[in-house]
Chains A and B, each alone.
Chain A
């Protein structure tokens, strides 16, 4: 069987060049003084000090984490019932529903977000409806609300699909057994369905939290030019300000935070599902 081993070698080479080297470059840039050329590198901690001593940057980081967290929580509480409702439907309908959920994901994220501008803007659809009923109009676009809404709109499908797939995989005979043993509907849900669907929730969290914490498109379109999340700061450092060293340092900080939170979630996931399996056996 060793003949097949060689099949992996080209990719290992490619991976070292296209994945490992770029990551190393970010670290290299993050620790070097100003100047965007690799040839002029010299070691410094200055960019990290700049980031961690300035309350403005820390506030932005905190805001990004908060917005991502709120988005994730909403996605869990909205996504779970939806996934559950789909899983309860007949098999034929399920495929159709899943298709309906997936379809918008095929449409460009920018385009989908752009569509909300007309709906949320000052004299947009929602405010038109409000003023039609003589209700006070309110500013929706360029607020936290708009940004969170845009994120939920874009990332909710990930959550639904993940939870749905873990619900669909569930062994239905467990529920029947529980029923036979006298468990009521709530007990069955809490003791069987919920624990068994947790892996789906966890991978859903990963898929929602990760893009929302680093997004710069949604805040820019729906939050306006004055709405900065950590992703926007990285973008401006690279694209407009041209301070790649500082930009690399922020990228590194963000990557570390995310890796760490992923690691914790996965640990939690393993321990949790392990326990539950132990409980059941």
Chain B
């Protein structure tokens, strides 16, 4: 018997170790003084400071809590009433409702999410707080009903009738007779609803927009790159949840004790604790709400018609200080959303989301202009266009810069470990070095359909803007072979930290990220093959459906300014569109002096700019999915 006990304890120990070790790990690394997730370099609370100074995070916490509380309260009330109503209804109706009600529970979450998204889009409802709240209520109610129905089945129907015979109104019968008996079901239903809403990612991800984020969707956008603030945020959530759960489990025990003793005093203490808790929660929400709002909006509203500017930009593509400075100077609030591909941005736009400023790339701007989705810049306001580097002004997709103001620009190239790969090999093979047997298992490839095909086409000596189907098939085969035989790892922004750590010898990287990698790890070099590459540029544009174009023009002008461009380029590492900033940073004693990745290559005739083509776009997205599956 002793032996068995020991085994049981051992098993439970291992179980809890398995469950809690990652959480503990996260907790420890939230106090790390460096960005690393793998080596602990000293104690620091900087990630907590960062978190509390980041308005996005505070807003996300606020929205998560408000939505969870509202969704729980509403779905518990509606669910309880419905369950009671159903229990008295005809069997056919009841069975039918329960069947439909089961759908969101049995369906994969992603299907429910997609359905709701299509529903909102079809009705042209702007995504935001209300769509998120309604979606949460919609998936919470079924769980509440599910947890109450069994309690009602075991209920004596005569009790409520007896109460009514004795003169109780239906409402009284409901309140005094039925509800108390099914209380355990209601409570567990409410708890399930709260957890579901508080934790939900998939459904929120599909139905939210316009700057409304909850913790999950925020973590999702942040997790593209190693960001220890996530650990800090998680640690705080863990602490809050532990305290709450402990209270929930301890309070009933205290209450029971109090009732046993019949002491009024401890009964009051419990009530006081409850009141203090409620006040604490609402106070906390109030503070969060305050910190999420800005100062007096009146001046900005008079001047621009609204004090809110909605910006949609690439992730990790701006110094947060720049937005804060704009908010201070203009007395407005910037709602800042991020995307990680032009296609994602386009889909959002197509879904009816109204942003004031977008920052797409060259070919996407061409597409947006062709589809008449942009409005011209107000050149009287955007005076700083004059400071833009001549090399990226008047590009073919927008010759007069009627619609677009350049933001960052650069190339796509290879970051390689100078100690393991000889420059001669690179010179000789160009992009074909990725097929070199010696590098097997040592390659990071960037997850972008366009740049994947660009590399394959360039390696084969073709133009990346080709419309020739045979050349595309050849490029496809090149990529499939790469993925099946070279054991490559397809990544996005995590490549930055991975190359700084020197995890692999070679990686496909955008020049700005390469500049950052090179400045952090001296072993790394940057190489662009002579066969040419994608010379890209991202620019700010104002969509037709912008709600605040006046302020958008001011914002674009503000970003182009020397001071803000400087901050951005220093923070992100990409080549600035501001000519002077580029000179200063790459010049003598500049931050990026001697950094071969910072300055884009000018003058190679084989370098190209992506053009938009409906036909090849479809080929690329279909074929790239297949390349990835091919492994």
Contact = CB atoms under 8 A, between A and B. Distances in A.
Given A86-B12, A106-B199, A224 B490 contact: yes
B84 A7 contact: yes
B110 A235 contact: yes
A160 B90 CA distance: 37
A233 interface: yes
Contacts of A7: 81-82, 84-85
B104 interface: yes
Contact of B245 (A19, A99, A210): A99
B109 A15 contact: no
Interface in A96-139: 97, 99-112, 114-119, 121-125, 128, 139
Contact of B97 (A12, A57, A124): A12
Contact of B230 (A102, A105, A114): A114
B97 A29 contact: no
Given A25-B122, A114-B230, A255-B111, A8 B85 contact: yes
Contact of B350 (A23, A225, A242): A242
A46 to B, nearest CB: 13
A244 B113 CA distance: 13
A109 B196 CA distance: 11
Contact of A1 (B114, B138, B157): B157
A107 B503 contact: no
B97 A15 contact: yes
Counting contact residues on chain B (CB < 8 A from A), the size range is: 35 or more
Interface stretch (B22-30, B293-301, B544-552): B22-30
Contacts of B19: 100-101, 104, 153, 157
Q: Which of B15, B114, B489 is packed against the most chain A CB atoms within 10 Å?
A: B114
A258 B106 contact: yes
A15 B101 contact: yes
Contact of B491 (A8, A15, A29, A224): A224
A262 B441 CA distance: 40
B8 A88 contact: yes
B111 A119 contact: no
6 contacts: A18-B134, A25-B118, A89-B8, A109-B199, A109-B216, A217-B220
A220 B223 CA distance: 10
B465 interface: no
A217 B117 contact: no
Interface stretch (A69-77, A170-178, A246-254, A272-280): A246-254
B346 interface: yes
A226 B347 contact: no
B88 interface: yes
Contacts of A224: 489-491
A2 B88 contact: yes
Nearest to B22: A115
Interface in B134-158: 134, 137-138, 141, 157
Interface of B: 8, 11-12, 15-16, 18-23, 25-26, 29, 37-39, 78-79, 81-82, 84-89, 93, 97, 100-101, 103-104, 106-112, 114-119, 121-122, 134, 137-138, 141, 157, 160-161, 170, 174, 195, 198-199, 201-202, 206, 215-216, 219-220, 223, 230-231, 233-234, 237-238, 241-242, 245, 249, 341, 343-344, 346-347, 350-351, 441, 445, 447, 483, 488-492, 498, 501, 503, 621, 625-626, 628-631
A59 B343 contact: no
A88 B6 CA distance: 13
Interface string A1-37: 1111111111110110011111101100100000010
Instruction: Pick the 8 closest A-B CB pairs, nearest first.
Output: A8-B85, A22-B115, A226-B490, A7-B85, A214-B108, A118-B37, A225-B447, A115-B22
A114 B631 CA distance: 24
Contacts of A235: 110
A103 B245 contact: yes
B88 A116 contact: no
A118 B219 CA distance: 16
Interface string A226-269: 10100101111011111010011001101100110010000000
Given A8-B89, A217-B201, A242-B350, A104 B23 contact: yes
Contacts, number: 272
A216 interface: yes
Given A8-B82, A106-B245, 14 more contacts: A8-B89, A8-B97, A14-B138, A19-B104, A56-B629, A108-B215, A110-B219, A117-B37, A119-B21, A119-B25, A240-B347, A240-B621, A255-B108, A255-B111
A23 B503 contact: no
A19 B134 CA distance: 11
Contacts of B344: 239-240
Contact of B174 (A4, A118, A142, A157): A4
A217 B223 CA distance: 11
A194 interface: no
A123 B501 contact: yes
A210 B215 contact: no
Contact of B8 (A14, A85, A118, A236): A85
Contacts of B20: 104
Interface residues of A, dominant DSSP: helix
B85 A9 contact: yes
A114 B157 contact: no
A23 B223 contact: no
A97 B138 CA distance: 32
B234 A124 contact: no
A107 B85 contact: no
Given A115-B22, A228-B628, A248-B114, A242 B347 contact: yes
A169 B510 CA distance: 59
Nearest to B107: A255
Contacts of B134: 18
B491 A11 contact: no
A248 B118 contact: yes
Contacts of B157: 1
Contact of B216 (A106, A108, A122): A108
Given A1-B88, A12-B97, A97 B12 contact: yes
A226 B489 contact: yes
A82 interface: yes
B81 A115 contact: no
A107 B245 CA distance: 12
B117 to A, nearest CB: 7
A213 interface: yes
A38 interface: yes
Given A1-B160, A2-B88, A242-B343, A23 B492 contact: no
A213 B230 CA distance: 27
A142 B101 CA distance: 37
A23 B103 contact: yes
Contact of A106 (B81, B241, B492): B241
A8 to B, nearest CB: 3
B223 A221 contact: yes
A12 B87 CA distance: 14
A108 B219 contact: yes
